[in-house]
Amino acid sequence: MVTKSRYLEAPRRLRAFVRAYETSLVVLAALIGAIGGAVVVAMSAAVEGLHVLFFDLEMGDRLSSQFHIEPLRALLVPSLGGLLLGVAFLLLARVRPAREIDPIEANALHGGRMSFRGSVIVALQTIWSSGVGASVGLEAGYTQLASGLAASLGRGFHLRRADQRIMVGCGAAAAIAGAFGAPLAGAFYAFELVIGGYTPASLTPVGIAAVAGYFVAHAFTVLSLGINIGPLGDVLGRDLAIAALLGILAALFGIAIMRGVALCERLLAKTRLWPPLRPALGGLVVGLLALVTPQVMSSGHGAVHFAGFVAIPLSVVVTIFALKAIASVISLGSGFRGGLFFATLFLGALGGHLFAAGFDVIWPGLHLSPNVYAIIGMSALSASVIGGPLTMSFIALESTGNLWLTTAVLVAVMISTQITRELFGYSFATWRLHLRGETIRSAADVGWIRDLTVRSLMRQDVTTVNANMPIEEFRKKFPLGSKNQVVAIDGSGRYVGLALVADAHAPDIEAPGGLVGLLHYRDVVLHPGMNIQEAIAVFDAAEAESLAVVDTDGEHRPIGILTEAHAMRRYAEESEQRRREVLGEV
């Protein structure tokens, strides 16, 4: 029976044309870029509208750049907003029990397939979370919705797996380029974090999407996007060494933030609070912190326009730095939707400023530039938490236009990334996936490996014999050349072992107990849900050329047989297919 598609399909001829010509993908990428830029504008405007409504701000004002918020609003809006969000989560779980897939997971495991409806839901949750003042970033919602729309468009054109993954990257590139006013950073965000690598086939579409997203977002000058930097001092050779030290500190602090979010989630889970009360409690804590400094609220996009914060007393900077970190950990740990991109930019900038001031105390006379180290700290901390060292380097370059400063940023970013990889091993996105039981550490396409299961590879025409069959009877039933191996079972049909026909016909064989004395691999079997890598590992450990596949329902009945040669051949074929797709040869 033919069922109606859940997404719109392009006409057959148009689909064939797009699949046949790479230039058509570039046009599609430009459309996705424009959509991504519009997503940034629409979501930013929606959050600004909620801030105006809930916090009595003027249009154009940023919540995180305020110096005072009415105390009652600061307490009630985040806590009641968290309660409503928690109730919405409960109701939504009844309708959509499955967890929504983000762009990194979609490209790593699902060939670039994302749910459009799920992406809209995540974007709305992110808008609400930031709109009620939770200390979360909008970038997760930007990339989720833009990539979800791109994935739906790609499915409508029946794109190949590799092209579909590139379209998801195009959506993310456009969103980041529009949000930060940095098309190069947007493109490399897609390469490093969403696609999992740079390839010649992905360069043009991702680059076009990033540029289109940038121009569409910045056509709306009423929105203040990007990062504004104050006057920069000279960057000297000594700054490269000092930047390396800042990179080490940024990595350690970034790891602490990521572990802090997980710790907060575990502690709240142990309290056995009614789930909607968790974000309500988190919102209340953020509101209390906002009574001290409103800069802890929302994404921090307004506060990260730090051209003038170097004039703020250091004691105030320390307070904002500490409370913003706590607010971000509690907001995400209690269940608000969002990311840490904007928060780590702001925290890194504050931390870099404090680092420069502290270094001048320890080593007087250096007179380190606060703005220079704000940029270095901003990039190093974000590289630790978000990943993407080149992405963060390009944000610094496109924000300042200073190549010497970007060199210092690159040093700090490389060290921060390497230490995070060695000591922690995850970015924030992949760390959250790890906590849910996934093993991926990047968006590199490993989904095809999971799709290549033992069930799809095995032969189902299994020949079985009773394990107690006399050896002479077995020889008569299976003469040399008739079979390579036969699966032996007991009286109830359970797997007992694998009988090799050649062994049974060996002239010096003595088997007074019957066939059971000749069986191999009695305790080594494959299961139908194993992927190809797991199956090959079992073959290697058992030093077997073929193994039986048994069911997993507890009956232990043989349902198929798989040879190592066939598994290796199919693995090599699929690996070569993926390599050709990456290089654009298919």
| pLDDT for the residue 548 | 92
Average confidence (pLDDT) over 324-330 = 96
* C-alpha to C-alpha distance for 113 and 505, rounded to whole angstroms: 53
Domains for the chain: give ranges and CATH numbers.
12-225 (1.10.3080.10), 237-435 (1.10.3080.10), 449-580 (3.10.580.10)
What pLDDT shows up at residue 305?
57
Confidence label for 227 from pLDDT (cuts 50, 70 and 90) = low
Q: What pLDDT sits at residue 18?
A: 81
Helices 237-270 + 314-334 axis angle, to 10: 40
**pLDDT band at 586; cut points 50, 70, 90:** low
Q: What is the pLDDT of residues 426-435, one digit of tens each?
A: 888 888 877 7
Q: How far apart are CA 431 and CA 376, in angstroms?
A: 24
* pTM attached to this predicted model: 0.85
Across the range 200-204, mean pLDDT stands at: 89
**Letter for the amino acid at 537?**
A
Task: Say how far apart CA 107 and CA 442 lie, in whole Å.
Answer: 9
For the ranges 76-80, 218-222, 347-351, the maximum mean pLDDT occurs at: 76-80
Average pLDDT, the chain: 87
pLDDT-based confidence at residue 91 (cuts at 50, 70, 90): very high
Residue 110 backbone dihedrals phi, psi, to 5 degrees: -120, 20
The Cβ of residue 351 has, within 10 Å, a number of other Cβ atoms equal to 25
Which residues is 543 bridged to in the sheet? none
Q: Which pLDDT band, with edges at 50, 70 and 90, does 4 fall under?
A: very low
Q: What is the pLDDT averaged over residues 368-391?
A: 92
What tokens does 162 get?
A: 């590799």
Mean pLDDT of 157-177: 93
Between 451 and 117, where is the model more confident? 117
- Decide if pLDDT at 307 tops 60: no
Cα 25 from Cα 170, distance rounded (Å): 11
Q: Name the pairing type of β-strands 558-563 and 485-489.
A: unpaired
pLDDT of residue 226: 53
Q: What is the mean pLDDT of residues 205-230?
A: 79
